[in-house]
Amino acid sequence: LTSQSYPEIKRNPNFALITGQDVSHFGTILSRNSIIDGISPENNASEEDLAPFNVDWMNKYRGQSQLVLKPKSTSEISKILSYCNFRKLAVVPQGGNTGLVGGSVPVFDEIILNLSSMNSIRSFDPVSGTLVCDAGCILEVVDNYLAERGHIFPLDLGAKGSCHIGGNVATNAGGLRLLRYGSLHGTILGLEAVLADGTIMDALSILRKDNTGLDLKQLLIGSEGTIGVITAVSILCPRKPKATNVAFFGLPSYSHVRKAFISAKEHLSEILSAFEFMDSAAQKLSCHHSGTRQVLEQDHPFYVLIETQGSNETHDSEKLEAFLENVMSLQIVSDGVLAQDESQLKSLWKLREFIPEACSKSGGVYKYDVSLPLDCLYDLVTELKNRLVDAGVVGENKTVVDVMGYGHIGDGNLHINIPVRHYSKEVASLLEPWIFEWIGLHNGSISAEHEHDQANEGHKGSLRPQWNFESV
Ligand code: FAD
Ligand code: MLT
Ligand code: ZN
């Protein structure tokens, strides 16, 4: 077997090849319709049936698994992993398959352990706001459940319609409102997980405070499936805000974006729930591919989307007015709109949330998700664009469509995306290691809220870990 996504990587021969007998064994643990089988003589799956599980959201990474298991309970997962550990069969846990770094699909022929059939909400306490749910619950479904009970999930992101809570935890997803509701490291109260040898780790605490022993759950948050399969999550959910406002501004420069952030923190303080930014290139691409018209009449070098969430409409409006007066009188923003109703609010958010999809429409996209000090955050986009333009690879009929920056200014998190018409070694070698060295020199992080995407480095023969059962 060869890996289609990482041609330089050799399959680890310590992992066994799956046989029809293995599939029969899984048939004793799971019901027949929980197994998508391309292996045994009586198999029920074609390449086409397996493709949605083998290929990632961006259509960038492709594994060659012939077996998908969809367990319905923690005990089934425990039995599966115990057997795989004994037989040395490699496994990749999979949630909604919306991760952007290739972690949710196999590299070779790993068994795909898909969590979508574990999707029950176990309990919700409206007094403390504690929700306990299975890992395979879809984020949007959980958020709708909570909304009916006057609460919200403390994480929101563009992939909410497909991503799983377990996947969110495994990736330590940051999302659109981290600046208000904090990281999952703070909101998660407990986890249940199955380790590689089948041991069930029950740390599904619902307590806000619990200092007994080491806080093991923190190791699993952001572990990308490398140390266990998360099967259930206990999480603290805030009250649903009574008033939500969204404003969208055009700004003349990145330094004005920073000034607007200072003003937002000063005037909106505790009701500020999102401060997102995008440059002109990202906004145009998002409008183009979503078929939406630009919101502001004229083009601006930068745009920000600001959201407030509070418990008192009148107080919030007063604060918002003071903020608007400040940014307009000081000419921090050049133009702007305030959503007047729910549908306008959604369209403004769509402009921002659609960017990742728009970036992947040209043929391919090199994605970097970085943290940087705010004063130099956008310099990376400018310098990288100059570098690629100087090399003659950007423009119509060239490999690179454009270089664009967007992301979570409120968290110092830049998404720098380079949509391309096709992947190219020349472009890859212009990007790396230059981009990493630049981030290192500026005291940043090459992995802010997604794991670092190693396939971008594939040309250099970098390694991607496969579960190593012997080390567990
Ligand atoms: P998958 O993609 O299925 O898996 C991701 C990783 O977690 C893989 O390594 C997988 O093996 C592992 N995994 C999955 N489930 C489990 C489990 N139960 N136990 C152990 N390991 C598991 N991320 C952000 O941080 N912020 C954003 O704003 C954001 N916006 C996004 C917008 C779009 C349009 C898209 C497509 C993605 C976005 N993401 C964002 C990426 C983000 O990581 C995922 O959307 C989400 O957190 C992944 O969840 P998933 O269920 O799809 O996981
Ligand atoms: C976002 O903020 O939209 C996501 O993290 C997706 C991306 O990185 O493009
Ligand atoms: Zn993001």
Q: Provide the pLDDT for residue 446.
A: 96
Q: Could you read off the pLDDT of 10-54 as tens digits, one per residue?
A: 999 999 999 999 999 999 999 999 999 999 998 999 999 999 999
Nearest CA to ligand 1 atom 14: 167
Using alpha carbons, select from 65, 46, 41, 190 the residue that is nearest to residue 130. Answer: 190
Q: Apex CA 456: angle with CA 156 and CA 382, to 5°? A: 75
Which architecture characterizes domain 20-114 according to CATH?
A: 2-Layer Sandwich (3.30)
CA distance 358 to 353: 10
For residue 465, pLDDT over 90 is answered with: no
pLDDT exceeds 80 at position 455: no
In this structure, of 129-138, 266-275, 289-298, 302-311, the range with the lowest mean pLDDT score is 289-298
Residue 168 near ligand 1, beta carbon < 6 Å: yes
The reported pLDDT for the residue numbered 454 is 53
Query: For 108-146, what is each residue's pLDDT tens digit?
Result: 999 999 999 999 999 999 999 999 999 999 999 999 999
Minimum-distance ligand 2 atom for the alpha carbon of 359: 9
What pLDDT sits at residue 459?
30
Q: What confidence score (pLDDT) does residue 144 get?
A: 98
Q: Hey, what are 247's tokens?
A: 């404003």
322: left (phi over 0), alpha (psi -120 to 50) or beta: alpha
391-440 confidence digits (pLDDT tens): 999 999 999 999 999 999 999 999 999 999 999 999 999 999 999 999 99
How far, in Å, are 43, 191, 274 from residue 39 at the CA level? Answer: 6, 33, 48
Is residue 415 in contact with ligand 2, taking CB distance under 6 Å?
yes
Token representation of residue 155: 């994480």
Establish whether residue 172 lines the binding site of ligand 1, counting it when its CB lies within 6 angstroms of any ligand atom. Answer: no
Q: Which ligand is nearest to the CA of 157?
A: 1
- Give the CATH class of 121-236: alpha beta
Task: Give residue 1's pLDDT band: very low, low, confident or very high (50, 70, 90).
Answer: confident
Q: What's the fold here for domain 362-460? A: Alpha-Beta Plaits (3.30.70)
For 243-355, the fitting CATH number among 3.10.129.10, 3.30.70.2190, 1.10.10.10, 3.40.309.10 is 3.30.70.2190
Nearest to 457 by CA among 419, 434, 429, 422: 429
pLDDT at 2: 79
Same fold for the pair 243-355 and 362-460: yes
What confidence score (pLDDT) does residue 467 get?
A: 39
Average confidence score pLDDT of the chain: 94
For ligand 1, atom 47: residue with the closest CA = 168
Closest atom, ligand 1, to C-alpha of 408: 28
Kindly give the number of the ligand 1 atom that is closest to the alpha carbon of 103. 9
49 SS3 class: helix
- State in Å: Cα 450 to ligand 3 middle: 8
Residue 462, pLDDT above cutoff 90? no
Q: Is 158 in the pocket of ligand 2 (CB under 6 A)?
A: yes
> Do 96 and 164 contact (CB within 8 A), yes or no?
yes
Mean pLDDT check: name the lowest of 98-102, 171-175, 249-253, 454-458: 454-458
Share of the chain above pLDDT 70, in %: 96
Nearest CA to ligand 1 atom 28: 175
User: Where is average pLDDT lowest: 152-166, 385-399, 439-453?
Assistant: 439-453
Atom 7 of ligand 2, nearest CA residue: 356
How far apart are the C-alpha atoms of 105 and 90, rounded to whole Å? Answer: 12
Please give the number of the atom of ligand 2 that sits closest to the Cα of 174: 5
What is the best residue among 61, 69, 137, 163 to mutate for testing ligand 1's pocket, by most ligand atoms within 8 Å of CB?
A: 163
Residue with tokens 């496994």: 91
Residue 193: nearest ligand to its CA?
1
Cα gap 322→68, rounded to integer Å: 55
- CB of 173 shorter than 6 A to ligand 1: yes
Whether residue 466 has pLDDT greater than 60: no
Q: What angle do CA 205, 210, 215 make, to 5 degrees?
A: 80
pLDDT of residue 472: 29
Is-contact 89 18, C-beta < 8 A?
Answer: yes
159 ligand 1 Cβ < 6 A = yes
pLDDT in tens, 319-370: 999 999 999 999 999 999 999 999 999 999 999 999 999 999 999 999 999 9
Nearest ligand for residue 450 CA: 1
| Per-residue confidence band for 453, with pLDDT thresholds at 50, 70 and 90 | low
The two counts, helices (H) then strands (E), for the chain are 16, 16
CA dihedral sign, ordered 121, 124, 129, 131: negative
Distance (angstroms) between ligand 1 centre and the Cα of 196 equals 20
Structure tokens at 408: 């979570």
Angle at 22 between CA 228 and CA 48, to 5 degrees: 85
C-beta 135 within 6 A of ligand 1 = yes
Residue 7 has pLDDT above 90, yes or no: no
Residue minimizing CA distance to atom 10 of ligand 1: 104
What are the residue boundaries of the structural domains of the chain, listed by start? 20-114, 121-236, 243-355, 362-460
Higher pLDDT, 468 or 303: 303
* CA-closest residue to ligand 2 atom 8: 415
203-212: average pLDDT: 95
What tokens does 416 get?
């720098």
Percent of the chain with pLDDT over 90: 93
106 within ligand 1 shell (Cβ under 6 A): no
Q: What is the ipTM of this complex?
A: 0.99
pLDDT band with cut points at 50, 70 and 90 for residue 3: confident
- Which protein residue's CA is at the shortest distance from atom 7 of ligand 1? 224
Q: Is the pLDDT of residue 456 over 80?
A: no
Cα 198 to middle of ligand 2, angstroms: 33
